[in-house]
Structure 1
Amino acid sequence: MIARQSDYQETMGSDMVAFYDVSMMNEHYNCKVRCNTGNNAQCQNGGFANPNDCSVCICPSGYGGKLCNEREVR
């Protein structure tokens, strides 16, 4: 596969979707608005509330736990 813009050639083909791709898609489709009530999780370390369950966070690589406040164990 060849990217239309050469700057993106090395970004294609990952086995998993990147955290920032998920974040941008949720932003684009206004999914984050679902969790703008007072009952959403207070995510840490750059995480954001999961639109399917606002009490749990979607965490960036390296962080885990319900609020992204724990180091990811491998």
Structure 2
Amino acid sequence: MTIFEKLSTLAEITDQDEMIKACKIIPGEELRLALVVLALAYNKNEQANREIFLRQTQKMDSLKEKIKELEKASK
């Protein structure tokens, strides 16, 4: 089983105690690689969250402008 397969078996665990037990399947020499994979996944997730937040903020700003325009037009 590769390190990536081992890590993907951990992906759905949300309980801390279960995660600690499950992490014992990763040998000590593979822990550094596991940490690198975890850091890369975390960074990718953060980047995606920033992009989603930016798009949502832009859409909200656009909708606020449309609301203002509609309010002016209805007066």
Settle same-fold status: TM greater than 0.5. Answer: no
Q: Quick check: which has more Rg, 1 or 2?
A: 2
TM-score scaled by structure 1?
A: 0.25
TM-score scaled by structure 2?
A: 0.24
Q: Which structure is richer in relative contact order (CA contacts within 8 A, separation 6 or more)?
A: 2
